[in-house]
Amino acid sequence: MAEMMHNPNDLLRLQKEITNIVGLDRNVDDSDLDKLPFLKCIVKETLRLHPPFPLLHHETAEDCVVGGYSVPQGSRVMINVFAIGRDAKAWKDADTFRPSRFMPGEGEVTLGGGFSASLPFGSGRRSCPGMALGLYSLELIVAQLAHGFSWALPDGMKPSDLDMDDIFGFTAPRATRLCVVPTPRLVCRFITDLDSTCQTTSFVSVGGI
Size (the chain), residues: 209
Could you tell me the end-to-end alpha-carbon distance of the chain, in angstroms, rounded to an integer?
A: 6
Helix (H) or strand (E) segment spanning residue 5: helix 2-6
Contacts with 2 (C-beta within 8 Å, 6 or more apart), sequence order: 162, 164, 174, 178, 209
Q: Is 64 annotated as a binding residue?
A: no
Pure H helices in the chain: 2-6, 8-22, 37-49, 81-85, 131-148, 196-199
Distance, CA of 72 to CA of 174 (rounded, Å) = 36
Backbone dihedral angles phi then psi of residue 82, each to the nearest 5 degrees: -60, -45
Check: CB of residue 167 under 8 Å from CB of residue 52.
Answer: no
Query: Can you state the angle between helices 131-148 and 37-49, rounded to 10 degrees?
Result: 110
Q: Is the distance from CB of 204 to CB of 179 less than 8 angstroms?
A: no
Q: Write the CB contacts of 67 (distance below 8 Å, at least 6 apart in sequence).
A: none
Going by the annotation, the residues of the binding site for heme are 128
Going by the annotation, the residues of the binding site are 128
